[in-house]
Structure formats: C-alpha cells, structure tokens
C-alpha cells in the first residue's frame, strides 16, 4: 500500500483477487472517512510572527514571486486553510488552500534542523513543524502553538478536515 495526499494505491500480484478481509478493511476506512467528513470542522486561529529570525526564507520567497514581504504575509493570512492530511512527523498537518501565487518549490538542500513551530511553504502546501526536525520547506514565520502532545487525546491539535487561519502577530 502506498498512501498519498488524496489517494491510496494498493498493489496486488497479477491475477490476485482481494480477500474478503481486505475488502472489509477498505469499507471500514471509507466509513471512517465519511464520518470524518460529516463532522463539523474545528477552526483554529494560529498567531504567527513573520519574517526576520522567525521567518528566514520570507524575503527570498517574496523576491522569487515579485512581491514584497508584506504582500506575501497578506496573501498567506488571507486564506482559511483545510487540514488535508497528517504526515512527515507526528502532528505535521499538510494544509490545503495556499494561494497559487505562493506555491514554491522546496529548498534544493533541506535544513538539518527546522525549529519547532516554524510556519512554512512546500510546493502547494503550507504547514507548521510540530517539533524540531530536518526539513526542506521555506520558512515564513513561527508560532508558539503546541501541535503534538503524545499524552493528549487526540495527540494532534490539528485533524483532517479542520480549518486553520493564520493571524500575524
């Protein structure tokens, strides 16, 4: 099985037919996804300090898109994002809805350490690093909101379908 942003690829051997147990498992996943889609999304407002030491890539990203830093921040905060899926590291939410103008390729050489709370852009997604990890997304700013607590239920603050709005500080 190969999960992706909006799909799951299941590879079978040539001529192999899925077992009833596998079919049942897929039906349960479909039911869970339908239930998640039906729940009222939670809305999270997350304060972000943009630029300078908190956002070391903001100036370069602005230059790449022919904008000034204020315009990049204005575009980034103008959207209510949707948590598309979780991945990469515990609590890392891939946020869908980034204005196309801000879509930016990842860094050619990833950083060995991205600080916890870094708000960044990678391709057509934006997200927040829940803990210090290596990473190749372009960092715009930082928040002090905790996104992952293994002792909490659920352990991740952001869940698929939730909405996120960034607020500049």
Question: CATH number, domain at 111?
Answer: 2.40.100.10
pLDDT at 151 over 80: yes
The mean per-residue pLDDT over the stretch 16-27 comes to 86
pLDDT at 10 over 90: no
On whether residue 160 sits in a domain, the answer given is yes
With 0.85 as the threshold, say if the pTM is over it. Answer: no
pLDDT at 8 over 90: no
On whether residue 31 sits in a domain, the answer given is no
Q: What is the pLDDT of residue 6?
A: 66
Domain span including residue 97: 43-168
On whether residue 89 sits in a domain, the answer given is yes
Q: What is the pLDDT of residue 4?
A: 66
Q: With helix as H, strand as E and coil as C, how does the chain read?
A: CEECCCCEECCCCCCCCCCHHHHHHHHHHHHHHHHHHHCCCCEEEEEEEECHHHCCCHHHHHHHCCCCHHHHHHHHHCCEEEEEEECCCCCCEEEECCCHHHCECCCCCCEEEECCCEEEEEECEEEECCCCEEECCEEEEECCCCCECCCCCCCECCCCCCEEEEEEC
On whether residue 26 sits in a domain, the answer given is no
Number of domains in the chain: 1
117 or 33: which carries more pLDDT confidence?
117
On whether residue 157 sits in a domain, the answer given is yes
On whether residue 33 sits in a domain, the answer given is no
On whether residue 7 sits in a domain, the answer given is no
Q: What is the pLDDT of residue 69?
A: 98
On whether residue 118 sits in a domain, the answer given is yes
């Amino acid at each position: 099985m190969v999960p992706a942003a909006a799909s799951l690829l299941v590879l079978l051997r040539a001529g192999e037919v899925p077992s009833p147990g596998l079919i049942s498992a897929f039906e349960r996943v479909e039911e869970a996804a339908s239930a998640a889609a039906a729940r009222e999304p939670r809305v999270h407002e997350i304060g972000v300090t943009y630029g300078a030491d908190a956002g070391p890539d903001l100036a370069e990203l602005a230059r790449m898109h022919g904008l000034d830093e204020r315009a990049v921040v204005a575009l980034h905060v103008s959207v209510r994002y949707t948590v598309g899926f979780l991945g990469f590291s515990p609590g890392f939410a891939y946020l869908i809805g980034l204005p196309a103008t801000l879509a930016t390729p990842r860094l050619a050489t990833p950083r060995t350490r991205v600080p916890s709370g870094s708000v960044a852009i990678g391709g057509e997604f934006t997200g927040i690093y829940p803990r210090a990890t290596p990473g190749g997304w372009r960092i715009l700013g930082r928040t002090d909101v905790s996104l992952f607590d293994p002792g909490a239920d659920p352990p991740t603050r952001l869940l698929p379908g939730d909405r996120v709005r960034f607020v500049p500080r």
